[in-house]
Amino acid sequence: MKKLFAETLGTFALVFAGTGAIVIDRATGGTITHPGLALTFGLIVLSMIYTFGEVSGAHFNPAVTVAFAAARRFPWSEVPAYVGAQLIGAFAASALLRLLFPSAATLGATLPAGAASQSLILETVLTFLLMLVILSVSTGAKEKGITAGIAIGAMIALEAMFAGPISGASMNPARSIAPAVMSGHVEHLWIYLAGPLLGALLAIPACYGVRGAECCSAPSS
């Protein structure tokens, strides 16, 4: 239960700070700016990794949890509970933002700026690169060393910085599901489910090609 509570709180913080920054930026005429939004996502993930990494592994992302399980670093039996906890945290954050900003149209939902195929490819590649970093700086399903959070947070900020204006740079189904459902903008949600899941899974053979058995060494249950 401590692990699940940590995943709930961590995902709540991620969605509340990240999508909240988008909502506040739009409500205040762009005072946070796009670089500010990217840094917000990177910094909240970095902070939550150091806060909850030793408890739950600080996944905060269904695509990450599924990929860890596929890489035999995390038991498949725990995946449903982890994903459920992440969704609870994400929906709680979006519900609070709806209460605080009732006029917000999208609640920070990820929406493609161009063609759906363009954003789908971007989300796949972005999550592939992010998961490759996560697999490389983690032992089992937990980050290793004091610099792991910095590497992951920096990667998220970097990808949000350059790809955010086109696809929203979600890389996280929970981050996209909650604001989309709460705001009623679900027409493009499939992009942010399929892209991150595919990208995270593709990172496993890439990691294996570089690191061998080290990438997929822990048994699953």
94, 20 contact by CB (below 8 A): no
Whole-number mean pLDDT of the chain?
92
Q: How far apart are CA 19 and CA 168, in angstroms?
A: 11
pLDDT at 219 over 60: no
Predicted confidence at residue 220, as pLDDT, reads 41
Q: Where are the domains positioned within the chain?
A: 2-214
Buried b / exposed e along 149-167 (16+ C-beta atoms within 10 A): bebbbbbbbbbbbebbeeb
Predicted confidence at residue 200, as pLDDT, reads 97
Predicted confidence at residue 221, as pLDDT, reads 39
**Residue 114 has what DSSP assignment?**
S
Count of CB atoms within 10 A of residue 82's CB? 28
- Read off the amino acid at residue 14: L
pLDDT at 126 over 80: yes
218, 142 contact by CB (below 8 A): no
**159-202: pLDDT as tens digits:** 999 999 999 999 999 999 999 999 999 999 999 999 999 999 99
Strand 138-139 relative to strand 142-143: parallel, antiparallel, unpaired? antiparallel
* Residue of higher predicted confidence among 17 and 138: 17
**131-166: pLDDT as tens digits:** 999 998 887 656 666 788 999 999 999 999 999 999
**Residue 57 has what DSSP assignment?**
-
The yes or no reply on domain 2-214 and CATH 1.20.1080.10 is yes
User: What's the predicted TM-score (pTM) here?
Assistant: 0.92
pLDDT band at residue 95 using 50, 70 and 90 as cut-offs: very high
pLDDT band at residue 1 using 50, 70 and 90 as cut-offs: confident
Q: What is the mean pLDDT of residues 13-31?
A: 96
Predicted confidence at residue 210, as pLDDT, reads 86
Quote the tokens at residue 104. 């917000």
